[in-house]
Structure 1
Amino acid sequence: MAVERDNMLIDWDVGITMDDGVVVRADVFRPVAEGKSPVLLTYGPYAKGLSFQKGYPSAWQNMIASHPDVAFGSTNKYQNWEVVDPEKWVPLGYVCVRVDSRGTGRSPGYVDHFSPRETRDFYQCIEWAGVQPWSNGNVGLNGISYYAINQWHVASLQPPHLKAMCIWEGAADWYRDMTHHGGILSTFWANWCDMQVKTVQYGLGERGPRSVVTGALVCGDETLSDAALARNRASFGDEIVAHPLDDDYHKARSPDWSKVTVPFLSAANWGGQGLHPRGNFEGFVRAASTQKWLECHGLEHWTHFYTDYGRELQRRFFDFHLKGEANGWDDQPKVQLQVRHVDKFVERHEADWPLPSTRWTRFHLDPRNQSLSLQPPPEGSEISFSADGDGLTFMSQPFSEETEITGPLAANLRISSSTEDADLFLVFRVFTADLREIIFLGAIDPHTPVAQGWLRASHRKLDEKLSRPYRPYHSHDEVQPLQPGIPVDLAVELWPTSIVVPKGYRIALSVRGKDYMWQASTGAKLSNFKNELLGCGPFLHDDPRDRPRRLFAGTTTLHLDREGCCNILLPVVQSR
């Protein structure tokens, strides 16, 4: 039975029965006035009964302190992590549906993130919402991160009632975007599961939190033992470790771009290196949809989803596609960028991605003084570094004029190793004239560099069909060991970025053997992550099972020659 609160009708804990009999639970927020409305739906693991303020206090306080428009106009009682505030959408004529994914919150079952089973559940929730008496049959998906990632996956199944998606910072490729950067294992997901999913698993019952709105147990009315809880979830980190190549496990958790045909708005974050930008750009370029738009912004990855800037953009998109309003969205340029400067963002519209005005420019690594130059070095040489150390940094001369670099980047390196493998961590950086590094408030870490890229040398094999000079695409389907001391050529993808480099500033490329670290200690932490934020956020590559010292603690040598085999390709954008 619906209750009327805060100018909404609310149905708590509505059961949706899956095809195998499991009943997942949803909260439904809808207009008081009778009639049929479009639906905004999310399906995910963060527990619909856990308030944003209680579950993620540091993120909430930081956001509303800097962006008071987020909290304005709402009681904020119904705020949840990374999903829409119904108090700002229901008055606009939308129904907001929040579903606890199988095994989390108040939905029983076995937890297996991004699995085909979970994607089928999501499909069935969309189709359920499309035929309810309060629905006009048009279902849209809108949410951040997890609630965005799984949109790509369910769109591949083409649910008939799915009419539009807003994928806000949603990675897509389970292997390349999320679990193995350049073939190197990311420890993020194992830690994430500990901090953000086990804490809200169904069956915690009385050991879990209660909803501050309803008083109901957030994690179900059953209270299970630790052993029973463990039996009801996949051993997530161990499963990822067990699949070091892009095999069927990863492909089943990644989209089929040829089947993503629904209209969508893909919103990326320049500062999301390690998770949040790549899939949004890949989706825009590769999805089969004929109606697709790209947006990219900065700041923390949850902030602009809730600000007036982001919410109004989402509203225009959904009003057009779910309500059929003639609001001019069909004239919206395909690409909207918040172009990043060292001290601000400037909005600009573009026709496509990569940007049509891009002037692809190679900067060569010169060993004589570890510089970046537009000309190859006059003679060949070699330069080595410890394969598990801070590596080498190659820096340009001060720029003679302001220069914009916006787009994907790629490095070409010739290397050898004293062992049969080597991991390369590439960092694209900007420095002031007096050699102070410029860092940025990133999606999660407040000390992020301009761009990053990764590659395990034994994963250097390219997919020739999908590779582009500016975005190499690695197959990750076999291991090709190095012969110690024998050089090989590597093409390394660095994730898309944007920076307007001021006159007098310098750019730099660091070639490292381990994760970037801005400084040894920052004191910066968030309540939902284990590690201190030192530059890479929680997206680290430090699992010794994946990086045994016998392979990755040797010596790496760069081989540079007058043909310019070692270089970085930059997307320099012509000034307007």
Structure 2
Amino acid sequence: MRSTKLLPFAFTLALAFAQPSLATPLASGVPGMLFDHDVPITMTDGLQLRVNIYRPEKPGRYPVLMLMGPYGKDTSLADAPAYKTSWTKLIAKYPDLCKKSSCRYIRFEAPDPERWVANGYIVIHADVRGAGASPGVLDPFSTRETEDYATLITWAAHQPWSSGKVGLFGTSYQAINQYQVAALQPEGLAAILPWEGAYDQYREIAYYGGILNVAWEYWWTHQVVPNQNGNAETSLVDSINGGKDTGAPLSPEVLKQNRVDPIEAFAKHPFDDTYYRRRTPEGSRITVPLLDVANWTDWSTEGFRSAASKQKWLRIQTGDHLTPFYSDEALALQKRFFDHFLKGVNNGWEKEPRVAVQVRRPAGTTWRSAAAWPLPGTQWQRYYLDAANGSMDPALGTAAPAEKSYPGLGDGLTFTSAPFTEETEFTGPIGIRLWVSSSTSDMDIFAAVRLIDPQGRDVTFMGNSDPNVPLGLGYLRASHRAVDPARSTEYIPFHPHLTSEPMTPGQLYPVDVEFTNPTSIVISKGYRLALTIQGKDFGYGPGANIVRAKDYDLPNSSNSGLFFAAHPNRDPALYGGADTLATGGEHTSYLLLPRISARR
């Protein structure tokens, strides 16, 4: 069972009123905004977290927007070296951003409090336990951290300047933990807006298709550990008071004891065990109004699909991880949602389409609204593979049996469709069924669904964390091939990931490749689809024959998406064998695509 322990109401109520009163606010430098800095809030175990509170100067009771993260509530996005690239991209995209705000209080992956306080909201930003000014053990997404969040929400709901309604807001880390704490149903929580956040801790963060994702090591060492409480060597600067915002210095030995390295923890837990289940919320307990903003690459429709909320909306967009969050269009959407659920404004939000998707084209994007997800009327179309000639086509279901082998750590096989003769749209989840064997007892499958233009170039798109991504990326460790039929559909297989089932060398097995994200593309006449199957990370290296979708001019990267698999658990002796893909006859292998009929 997942951990869904509720804080006792009597205790949380007493705790809310037992907190110290706020000191005299600091001068915020922003007309009409009060700023309470490093306010100590006592948790259920007695430890005090530190929060910043931004609130209207005019007396009254206001709804609260809250976020809690590890990146530093006092670390300026504009000035921190760690976020220089993000800030440069943001200002390049929105050069007038700091004409609408002083930008002094913008933090990484966090809303600009100035633009919310001016509209009658209070913004509370907390340092998680063990980060920034909050002492304790830094253990990302732990049950202890989630309980802290619940305590903060209840505290905020009972303050004299609060209307009693709390909304959660933020992107990435500060979206993931919204799902977690919403399942605890803390008093005062009235709505959540997770912007590009993962839901399933095993399948979307730690292991993709059962393959360890070591990309988090970079995140941990470059973005989180520098802000650990007690880290006197940090390069991050306190933008409020200068100096460090990581509390009293601690020795390297104590610092190490006070943090739980997620990659080390993931490696110790290769299966979806209690470690992940306690960090993955129970969807049936998420009942508050919800707006899930997802990205076609890396995070995710799973929160929307899993939540039991009767009032829930899904919006899937393209673009990078940070800049869309700060656009005027996004701000208007965010305010309409929170105005409706936190202020009771009759702004027509209840008539907002439950699903809105940004449909991709090589020459740009268009928005489409729908009543449900997957889109109503989706036709699931199989593109059968033919190993004899590297082709794929819906008409190849009766192709003759064929097999082709490739080195397990090599470039693999690519199957290509004929040029499309008419404009065709695919929007929704995608799946792959393959028949495979290996000369060893296991193999890793990395799948990339690609778009090829009439000149033979890959058309790439801006991804959440990568400027060059294909249409979709899928993963599966063959020994994790077991599927739970009760929780699976034809287009989304559910792998329990509870045990390893070695392969018998040379024997063929059916496998369903796991995709963490759906896709969207309108394919123009003359373009082709391609499917690459290999046993290593897919990516576009320097000199790759690519053309970017409209409006992007960014450097190549050697790896696509928020995933990197190079790790000691990828033993070349086991995963570098001769892998074989079978097609046709009794071993039909295919790419499953969500075709959308032309709109009349």
8 A Cα contact 2:385 2:584, kept in partner: no
2:567 to 535, 543, 568: 543
1:107 to 134, 146, 158: 134
1:329 to 349, 355, 359: 349
Deviates most, 145-154 or 67-76 = 67-76
For 1:286 and 1:62, locate their aligned partners in 2 and report how far apart those are by CA, in whole Å: 33
For 1:228 and 1:100, locate their aligned partners in 2 and report how far apart those are by CA, in whole Å: 19
Query: What's the CA shift for 1:69?
Result: 4.9
2:228 to 198, 201, 208: 201
What does the per-residue CA deviation read over 1:511-545, in whole Å, with 9 as the maximum and x for residues that have no partner? Answer: 111011212479xxxxxxxx98324245201112x
Matched residue of 1:315: which SS?
A: helix
Query: What residue number does 1:31 align with?
Result: 56
2:529 to 496, 499, 507: 507
Whether 2:401 is the aligned partner of 1:374: answer: no
In structure 2, give the amino acid aligned to 1:51. Answer: S
Whether 2:65 is the aligned partner of 1:65: answer: no
8 A Cα contact 2:39 2:50, kept in partner: yes
Where do residues 220-231 of structure 1 align in structure 2 (5 Å cutoff)? 220=247, 222-231=248-257
What does the per-residue CA deviation read over 1:28-71, in whole Å, with 9 as the maximum and x for residues that have no partner? Answer: 00001100000000011001111001230111111111223543
In structure 2, give the amino acid aligned to 1:502. Answer: S
Query: What residue number does 2:384 align with?
Result: 364
2:500 to 447, 457, 479: 479
Whether 2:427 is the aligned partner of 1:402: answer: no
For 1:216 and 1:308, locate their aligned partners in 2 and report how far apart those are by CA, in whole Å: 33
Whether 2:595 is the aligned partner of 1:575: answer: no
Where do residues 10-49 of structure 1 align in structure 2 (5 Å cutoff)? 10-49=35-74
Query: What's the CA shift for 1:377?
Result: 4.9
Where do residues 110-129 of structure 1 align in structure 2 (5 Å cutoff)? 110-129=137-156
8 A Cα contact 2:388 2:403, kept in partner: no
Query: What's the CA shift for 1:368?
Result: 2.5
1:141 to 168, 182, 185: 168
Matched residue of 2:485: which SS?
A: coil
Matched residue of 1:53: which SS?
A: coil
2:575 to 552, 558, 572: 552
Where do residues 228-239 of structure 1 align in structure 2 (5 Å cutoff)? 228-239=254-265
Structure 1 pair 48–129 and aligned structure 2 pair: CA distance change class (3 A):
same
8 A Cα contact 1:405 1:571, kept in partner: yes
Query: What residue number does 1:423 align with?
Result: 444
Whether 2:323 is the aligned partner of 1:300: answer: no
Query: What's the CA shift for 1:207?
Result: 4.8
For 1:158 and 1:479, locate their aligned partners in 2 and report how far apart those are by CA, in whole Å: 36
8 A Cα contact 2:426 2:594, kept in partner: yes
Query: What residue number does 2:372 align with?
Result: 352
8 A Cα contact 2:540 2:557, kept in partner: no
1:265 to 291, 294, 298: 291
Query: What residue number does 1:283 align with?
Result: 303
Structure 1 pair 206–462 and aligned structure 2 pair: CA distance change class (3 A):
closer
8 A Cα contact 2:226 2:236, kept in partner: no
For 2:183 and 2:136, locate their aligned partners in 1 and report how far apart those are by CA, in whole Å: 24
8 A Cα contact 2:392 2:415, kept in partner: yes
Matched residue of 1:159: which SS?
A: coil
What does the per-residue CA deviation read over 1:211-253, in whole Å, with 9 as the maximum and x for residues that have no partner? Answer: 2333252211x11121121111113221110000000001111
Matched residue of 2:429: which SS?
A: strand
What does the per-residue CA deviation read over 1:453-486, in whole Å, with 9 as the maximum and x for residues that have no partner? Answer: 0000000111111100010110100111100001
Query: What's the CA shift for 1:563?
Result: 5.0
For 1:205 and 1:24, locate their aligned partners in 2 and report how far apart those are by CA, in whole Å: 19
What does the per-residue CA deviation read over 1:395-444, in whole Å, with 9 as the maximum and x for residues that have no partner? Answer: 00000111111100010000011000000001000000121000011111
Query: What's the CA shift for 1:302?
Result: 1.0
8 A Cα contact 1:205 1:218, kept in partner: no
The aligned length equals: 560
Query: What residue number does 2:519 align with?
Result: 497
What does the per-residue CA deviation read over 1:116-153, in whole Å, with 9 as the maximum and x for residues that have no partner? Answer: 00100111111111111111000000100000001111
8 A Cα contact 1:414 1:566, kept in partner: yes
8 A Cα contact 2:427 2:518, kept in partner: yes
2:332 to 312, 319, 332: 312
- Where has structure 1 moved over 6 Å in runs of 4 or more? none
Query: What residue number does 1:338 align with?
Result: 358
For 1:534 and 1:140, locate their aligned partners in 2 and report how far apart those are by CA, in whole Å: 39
Structure 1 pair 120–441 and aligned structure 2 pair: CA distance change class (3 A):
same
8 A Cα contact 1:387 1:556, kept in partner: yes
Query: What residue number does 1:528 align with?
Result: none
Query: What's the CA shift for 1:167?
Result: 0.5
For 1:329 and 1:500, locate their aligned partners in 2 and report how far apart those are by CA, in whole Å: 29
Matched residue of 1:29: which SS?
A: strand
Unaligned runs of 5+ in 2: 1-23, 545-554
Query: What's the CA shift for 1:254?
Result: 0.6
In structure 2, give the amino acid aligned to 1:477. Answer: L
Query: What residue number does 2:552 align with?
Result: none
8 A Cα contact 1:261 1:287, kept in partner: yes
Query: What residue number does 2:457 align with?
Result: 436
For 1:241 and 1:565, locate their aligned partners in 2 and report how far apart those are by CA, in whole Å: 35
8 A Cα contact 1:362 1:567, kept in partner: yes
Q: TM-score, normalised by structure 2?
A: 0.91
For 1:265 and 1:554, locate their aligned partners in 2 and report how far apart those are by CA, in whole Å: 45
Deviates most, 49-58 or 316-325 = 49-58
Query: What's the CA shift for 1:335?
Result: 0.5
What does the per-residue CA deviation read over 1:534-569, in whole Å, with 9 as the maximum and x for residues that have no partner? Answer: 24245201112x211221010110111235620011
8 A Cα contact 2:375 2:428, kept in partner: yes
Query: What residue number does 1:240 align with?
Result: 266
Matched residue of 1:195: which SS?
A: helix
Matched residue of 2:475: which SS?
A: strand
Unaligned runs of 5+ in 1: 523-530
In structure 2, give the amino acid aligned to 1:394. Answer: F
For 1:447 and 1:58, locate their aligned partners in 2 and report how far apart those are by CA, in whole Å: 16
Query: What residue number does 1:516 align with?
Result: 538
8 A Cα contact 2:359 2:368, kept in partner: yes
8 A Cα contact 1:208 1:219, kept in partner: no
8 A Cα contact 2:93 2:323, kept in partner: no
For 2:148 and 2:473, locate their aligned partners in 1 and report how far apart those are by CA, in whole Å: 35
In structure 2, give the amino acid aligned to 1:3. Answer: L
8 A Cα contact 1:449 1:535, kept in partner: no
For 1:91 and 1:462, locate their aligned partners in 2 and report how far apart those are by CA, in whole Å: 51
Matched residue of 2:222: which SS?
A: helix
8 A Cα contact 1:69 1:307, kept in partner: no
In structure 2, give the amino acid aligned to 1:298. Answer: T
Structure 1 pair 308–143 and aligned structure 2 pair: CA distance change class (3 A):
same
Matched residue of 1:92: which SS?
A: coil
Query: What residue number does 2:19 align with?
Result: none
8 A Cα contact 1:24 1:100, kept in partner: yes
8 A Cα contact 2:450 2:458, kept in partner: yes
Matched residue of 1:414: which SS?
A: strand
Query: What residue number does 2:8 align with?
Result: none
For 2:579 and 2:309, locate their aligned partners in 1 and report how far apart those are by CA, in whole Å: 43
In structure 2, give the amino acid aligned to 1:16. Answer: I
